[in-house]
Amino acid sequence: MARKRTLATLDTSIAYEAVGLDLAKEDVALAAFDSDHKEPYLIDRIPYDKLYELLADLAPTLVAMEPCSGAHQIAEQIEALGHEVMMISGRHVQAWVKDHCNGQKTDLNDAFAILNLAYDRWLTPIRGKTREECRLLALQASYRQLKGQRTKTMVHVKATFHAWGFPIRAGSFNQKVLHELIDTNREAFGDEVVETLHLMINRVRDLDHDIATVLKLLTEATKRDPRASLLRSIPGFGILTTSRWCAVIGDIARFDSPKQTMAFVGLVPNNRITGHHTETPSGREARGQGRMSKRGDKMLRSLCIMGAASLCLMVRNDRLPECPFVASIKERLASPRPWFKVLVYVAAKLVRIATALLKYGETFSYEKAGISKAVLKQWELEQAKAA
């Protein structure tokens, strides 16, 4: 983008159709179009306080941006000034810059790309998150960080014991036994190593306390969401899956069907079809679909699959009542399909059930789960007549 066309600020007496923002840590690159749509108005760098002052003086318009760090809070402040905010995926911006700006990635080129993409009526914007959803995401990030620290500390302690000829079996980390083992072999370890190992084991104890505290806070924050009670009634949906769903999915009404929710989570096949053939890793096949798309939120998808795994174990151990839902899982478990494909099938079924419960405002019922809409409608009519 030519430097000679950059400005220090915008003329607030002009009505602008759209404004594109490329957010940075301390300043913003800005591009705007007026009604003539001839030449863009460009600002190379403008601080955030100056940006809010400028937007406060502008007539209400469309403000487009990428969903980078802090974008949801920035969008909230911009909407408070009377503007409409649109978030565009960075993948679309990168592709537009590559095609129209010869791949010259600069802040101004990104802002200009965002501005032009705001006019694309076929582009699906990214949903902005509310402040409560951002709180849930922050608590989940802290929980994952503490869990990661605990795992790394445990692996380090076990590796140290193994290096000294004291292997610890997998899945075992009895802190009292480990302290006694260190003190018993103090002469072999040496005072410095003994003190360090005691310190690392006590660190695991402190992390366990911190993880329990954060999980309690996450549970309290999740319960404030009215959808939480409906989601927690689904077998396989724990507090982590429920909180992630509440933070990522948003209003379920924006999905026309359960299949769209499954596609949003990334639990649908990835179709790559050309010439009436499906491209697969093993070669082209006349029929069939590709692997799981893995689009959307990775953590929510992983939690749904882990919930499906726990549900399959409960079904395998006959811990759930007999119903069409459990029968369908048993049928899949008895088939020669690979274990992970069965988990993906069950996880997708859980997502469909969660979508239906949120749309109809009902809790999970083993009697209704796994029954088609037509049969369920007839069953409800018969129940009403019997009553």
pLDDT tens per residue across span 7-39: 888 999 999 999 999 999 899 999 999 988 888
pLDDT for position 378: 72
| Chain centroid to CA 244 | 7
Grade residue 287 by pLDDT with cuts at 50, 70 and 90: low
pLDDT for position 126: 92
Residue linked to tokens 């053939």 = 277
Is the pLDDT at 125 greater than 80? The verdict is yes
pLDDT for position 375: 66
In this structure, of 216-225, 291-300, 320-329, 362-371, the range with the lowest mean pLDDT score is 362-371
pLDDT for position 343: 95
pLDDT for position 384: 76
H or E element, residue 218: helix 191-223
Percent of the chain with pLDDT over 70: 91
pTM of the model: 0.86
- Residue 237: burial class (beta carbons within 10 Å; 0-12, 13-18, 19+): buried
Q: What is the CB neighbour count within 10 angstroms for residue 1?
A: 19
| Mean per-residue pLDDT, 155-182 | 90
Distance CA 79, CA 102 (A): 33
How is residue 63 annotated by DSSP?
Answer: E
Q: CA of 370: how far to CAs of 175, 329, 375, in Å?
A: 45, 10, 10
Highest mean pLDDT among 216-220, 289-293, 316-320, 327-331: 216-220
266, 295 in Cβ contact below 8 A?
A: yes
